[in-house]
Amino acid sequence: MKVQMTSWSSWRSKEVLVREAGETGPIPLQIRGVFGASVVAYAAQRTDSTVAQGVSYRIWNAGKRRVILPAGYNSLDVERRSVGSSGSTGIGPWKVTRLADEDVSLAVGQMAGRGPWVLRLADGSAKTLRVVWNQGKSPGCLTLFRADSGTGEELSEPEHTQETIRVAGPGYLLLDARRWTLDIA
């Protein structure tokens, strides 16, 4: 199914419909914040009569963050918030971009990154992931979003700074730590 809109932006808080009718599975997104403020984006399921909110993502200042809209949610409710006592809501618009599969790196070989990041798992046999969080100093979080499931499945242990985890695709991995290294076998 062809998705008509692949990016949305605004100077105000706004809900954006990401999932087209009939679509299933998780959707990778990139959110860019605004200079001098924060943006909080909530996964939401909108029906004709109700709105249910799910997982939330916060982006400080003009940073970028890759996230996953879990299956079962169809929109993103983006709130622009002031920081500090000034009450300023920042300068510039926020932007949400729906990422195509080719925009998301395939999880292969050795990889390293900073901050939250999304990787794509291809079809096929199980993979072994060796992860080092924050140079072995503090834990991170690894969540698997399977192509055929609803919410993400957290695979990392809360106190571990190094882990070995087995996963099978297809789906997406959301790695969340200041720094991470990944060796995929």
Report the SS3 class of residue 102.
Answer: helix
Checking if the pLDDT of 72 tops 70, the result is yes
User: Contact, 100 vs 107, CB < 8 A?
Assistant: no
pLDDT attached to residue 3: 44
- Mean pLDDT for the stretch of residues 66-72: 91
Give the angle 120-10-20 at the CA atoms, nearest 5°.
Answer: 50
Please state, in angstroms and rounded to a whole number, the distance separating the CA atoms of residues 46 and 26.
16
- Mean pLDDT for the stretch of residues 34-38: 88
Please state, in angstroms and rounded to a whole number, the distance separating the CA atoms of residues 93 and 80.
9
Confidence of residue 162 (pLDDT cuts 50, 70, 90): very high
User: Contact, 67 vs 41, CB < 8 A?
Assistant: yes
- Mean pLDDT for the stretch of residues 163-170: 91
Checking if the pLDDT of 119 tops 90, the result is yes
2-14 pLDDT, tens per residue? 445 599 999 999 9
In the chain, the amino acid numbered 39 is V
Across the chain, mean pLDDT equals: 88
- Mean pLDDT for the stretch of residues 84-112: 87
What b/e readout covers 5-23, taking b as 16+ CB neighbours within 10 angstroms?
eeebeeeeebbbebbeeee
- Angstrom CA distances, 30 to 33, 67, 169, stand at 10, 6, 21
pLDDT attached to residue 142: 94
pLDDT attached to residue 5: 58
Confidence of residue 1 (pLDDT cuts 50, 70, 90): very low
Checking if the pLDDT of 147 tops 70, the result is yes
Confidence of residue 115 (pLDDT cuts 50, 70, 90): confident
